[in-house]
Amino acid sequence: MTASATEGLDATADADPAPEALPTAHAWRSAARCHDDLFAPLDAGARIGLLARSAPTHVLVWEAGDRGIDTWITPFAGYSATAADIVLAADDESLTEVRAAGDGALFEVLRAGIRSGRIVCYMLKRRCVLEERGFDELLDALGFAFMGACR
């Protein structure tokens, strides 16, 4: 990854408009820029998706690449079809809070939603694979701290 995980990205990722419940791809990319310390360690190809549980027609994706974090919205054809490492499935109330948080308190809102059960975090890869791909800090920010030898 580059020194800044979100440098050098263009607007082509916004081609497929977000359903109203999801943040825009531009807003999601901006949030990644504000939390560069969490995204910089990710291996190229690492993906996180966000979808609305009430209307799971599209998924908003963060993907780490050589030029930083890119974002786009794609039709949702199932969890495995996203090729994501993690998918966050949020209820409408949580998505409203995510959109309102914007760049600032995004991870606090995501963590609170996960703890309350309003956002379900599907880890589609084993914890050891996520760690190898650089997800440690990001998982900690979401409230998934694993300690001890029982990883």
**Domains, the chain, with CATH or none:** 11-138 (3.30.1050)
Quick: pLDDT tens for 41-90. Answer: 999 999 999 999 998 999 999 999 988 899 999 999 999 999 999 999 99
Instruction: Tell if the pTM clears 0.85, that is, is over it.
Output: no
DSSP-based three-state secondary structure for 102: coil
State the amino acid at position 37 in one-letter form: D
58-83 exposure pattern, b = at least 16 Cβ within 10 A, e = fewer:
bbbbbbbbebbbbbbbeebeebeebe
Q: What is the pLDDT of residue 146?
A: 62
Q: What is the pLDDT of residue 103?
A: 67
- Name 52's bridge partners: 90
In degrees rounded to 5, what are phi and psi of residue 97? -65, -40
Most confident of 11-15, 33-37, 52-56: 52-56
Pick from 148, 52, 138: nearest CA to 92: 52
Extended beta strands in 56-145, E state: 58-65, 68-75, 86-90, 119-123
